[in-house]
A and B are shown apart, each in its own frame.
Chain A
Amino acid sequence: MPEGGDRELTFAQAIREALAEEMRRDPTVCIMGEDVAEAGTPFKVLSGLLEEFGKDRVLDTPISEAGFTGLAVGAAMTGMRPVVDIMFGDFITLTMDQMVNQAAKVHYMSGGKWRVPMVMRTTLGATRRSAAQHSQSLHAWFCHVPGLKVVLPSTPYDAKGLLKAAIRDENPVVFFEDKMMYKLKGAVPAEDYTVPLGVADVKRVGEDITLVATSSMVQVALGAAAMLEEVGISAEVVDPRTMWPLDEKTLIESAKKTSRAIVLDEGYERYGVTAELASVIATGAFYDLDAPVKRMGAMHVPIPFSPPLEDVTVPTEQTVFDAARTLCGR
């Protein structure tokens, strides 16, 4: 667990601080997206950046996700380090050619000559009563593409350190922020630090079962772990933090130690991130497992608007608690 000192920031403040520090450090870092300047995004994550860095570095764009993402790819190839803001993760669908066929492949197709050091920041997460086109967690789509890196922070500390590492990375990085987490508070040191991409973090140490959880599901896993403790089950919570590069070793070692694992992710369970992570554990910890690896993700439905319907589409502390008890046989 990282040392955070005594300063607390919200997740949104941590993101903003990471961007501001990198923009001060490197004049080629710029931000572009819809309503990123005066508005500071609908989530107010970027408030204040326009005032400090001006409109040449904090650029409001038209509602043209493909257009400004494509522009960022070319800018990244030619000396800039753009950070594009895709307001809702659902809108990444509009950027797919730019990210999948262009950004991800430029380095390889050019025999390693051109580089695309850009970051796409976007959101994920349901239960905000925003219905089917503003609630999806589509990060698995990018995980499937060689050439991209995919980051899913779950705490203010990780958000700041990972975003700074992403901006300094020489590759296109997609950075998913859980929009329900923007107000979450946590310790964040004032001094400069980065969290390297590809290193998992054990968020809670336990003995009986491993809960591998990403992004929004880390808080759910920690809540479930507290409930499990009350019934005598000690749960370890492991956050991979980045989907690619993936710290397979930490996941496997935890599962070997506890002999049971549940993988939690807010993306669709079918063909999703949980399938990949479960496979890594099932293969790597096979001889030490006492039960099949359990996967928990979003139901295979478009996210509904009606609150009682929406709430059952994603894992909750209660459903994780129930699943863990079943897996442990008590």
Chain B
Amino acid sequence: MTTATEPREASEKVDLWLRMYRQMVAIRQFEMQVNELYMRALMPGLAHLYIGEEAIAVGVCEALERTDYITSTHRGHGHCLAKGASPDRMFAELLGKKAGYCKGKGGSMHIADPATGNLGANAIVCGSAGIATGAAFSARCLGNNRVSVCFFGEGALGQGVLYEEMNLAQLFKLPVIYVCENNLYTEYTHYSETTAGDILTRATAFGLEAARVDGQDVRAVYAIAQRLVDRARNGGGPAFLLCNTYRYHGHHVGDINREYYRSKQEEQTWKTERDPITNFGKWLIEQKLANAAALDRVQVELEAEMKKAVEFAVAAPYPAVEEVDEDVYA
């Protein structure tokens, strides 16, 4: 993108940019409420916050149609929201309530929603690589022109099944995009301690189209996702997108003391210099597409919306005990 064309392009896409900004803020505000629910001991179990990585889910999902498929991970709230899930039913699921997306049976790590093409978040690392690839297989067989996106963290690079799926996807020329979110830490271990060689060449070895992008830059993620999605939809086959990013919080909400695996200085640098929302907001202001007051208003509105969604979920009833053995078989 040259500087000469940038302003024109920027203004043409103003609605898109503002929607993406709003969506990133929505995810962050959602996750802040999740953390709050944990701190107030209102949430059973744990949750894995997506704060810091919002640009990836938003940039990729913005390039998808509602009928396209995604699979998500244990750190999946951002993907679900970006694909169109509504916060109130997500909070209800996080609290194990009947009104949740999975009637409370799935919880934070298993939110699924056929209405938005969400095949489900998955608590097995790399557990959904097969599902995403299979959805792309269906799209090819049924000729419905859909694309499938498999989100996973860099920890999944250690799972052999990922390579089996990429091999199959390329052999069958399937419209699937493997989106690797490298937030640097596989739980409590720096990825460099667990990942030999080069990441992208793992995909190019199978003949996949592979690309690397700054996962903190939502415009860059969107641009490249759009290219790979269009390519897949037009029969070009599978692709691999490596997004470099950072997880602001711990592996899960209870992972508070993190100095043994990463420094506070490192966290601070990412938050102050590379925050996807702050930097995108600055760009919007520079381009005169928004002013600071308008962006602040987005924050305030979404914070209020999320609080309302939490109230709905807290007040919602639990499922009846009799429902425990329903839905085991279809």
**Counting CB contacts under 8 A, is B196 at the interface?**
no
Question: Judging by beta carbons under 8 Å apart, are A61 and B124 in contact?
Answer: no
- CB neighbours (8 Å) of B129 from chain A are 70
- Residues in B with CB closer than 8 Å to A147 are 328-329
List, in ascending order, chain A residues with CB within 8 A of B106's CB.
Answer: 109-111
Residues 275-330 (chain B) with a chain A CB within 8 angstroms: 326-330
* With A74-B132, A74-B135, A77-B135: A107-B329 Cβ-Cβ less than 8 Å: yes
Whole-angstrom CA separation of A320 from B119 in the bound complex:
49
Find out whether the CB atom of A114 lies under 8 angstroms from the CB atom of B114.
yes
Q: Given A97-B161, A109-B110, A77–B168 Cβ distance below 8 Å?
A: no
Q: Interface extent on B, as a size class?
A: 35 or more
- A147 to B114 alpha-carbon distance, docked (Å): 19
Q: Which of B120-174 contact A (CB under 8 A)?
A: 120, 122, 124, 127-139, 141-142, 144, 148, 160-161, 164-165, 167-168, 171-172
**Residue numbers in B under 8 Å from A102 (CB-CB):** 122, 124, 127-128, 130-131
Determine whether the beta carbon of B134 is less than 8 Å from that of A79: no
Taking the complex as formed, is A93 at the interface, i.e. its CB lies under 8 A from any CB of chain B?
no
A67 adjacent to B112 (CB under 8 Å): no
B165 touches A67 (CB 8 A): yes
Contact A75 B135 (CB under 8 A): yes
Bound CA–CA A116/B134 (angstroms): 11
Q: How distant is the Cα of A115 from the Cα of B329 in the complex, in angstroms?
A: 9
A26 at the interface (CB under 8 A from B): no
Which of B69, B120, B165 meets A110, CB within 8 Å? B120
Task: Report the separation of the CA atoms of residues A80 and B141 in the bound assembly, to the nearest whole angstrom.
Answer: 8
Interface 9-residue window, one of B48-56, B96-104, B183-191: B96-104
CB-contact partner of B114 in A59, A113, A117, under 8 A: A113
* B113: Cβ under 8 A from any A Cβ: yes
Contact A107 to B330, CB < 8 A, known contacts A70-B165, A77-B119, A97-B127: yes
Q: Is the CB of A112 within 8 A of B131?
A: no
> Measured between alpha carbons, how far is A109 from B71 in the docked complex, in Å?
14
Given A62-B164, A78-B139, A80-B141, A98:B113 Cβ within 8 A: no
A74 contacts which of B100, B131, B172 (Cβ < 8 Å)? B131
User: Does A170 reach chain B (CB closer than 8 Å)?
Assistant: yes
**A interface size (C-beta, 8 A):** 44
Instruction: Give, as a whole number of angstroms, the nearest-CB distance from A71 to chain B.
Output: 4
Contact with B along A69-92 (1 / 0, CB 8 A): 111111111111010000000000
* CB atoms of B119 and A75 under 8 A apart: no
Once bound together, how far apart are the Cα atoms of A268 and B130, in whole Å?
31
B137 touches A71 (CB 8 A): yes
In the complex formed, the residue of B with least CB distance to A69 is B130
Q: Which of A28, A56, A108, A149 contacts B105 (CB 8 A)?
A: A108
Residues in B lying within 8 Å of A, measured CB to CB: 69, 71, 100-106, 110, 112-114, 119-120, 122, 124, 127-139, 141-142, 144, 148, 160-161, 164-165, 167-168, 171-172, 326-330
Additional pairs, 16, CB under 8 Å, beyond known A64-B164, A80-B137: A28-B142, A62-B171, A70-B133, A71-B130, A71-B165, A73-B131, A74-B138, A78-B139, A79-B141, A79-B142, A79-B144, A110-B102, A114-B114, A114-B119, A171-B329, A171-B330
Listed from nearest, the 8 A-B pairs whose CB atoms lie closest are: A70-B130, A74-B134, A67-B164, A111-B103, A111-B102, A74-B131, A112-B327, A170-B330
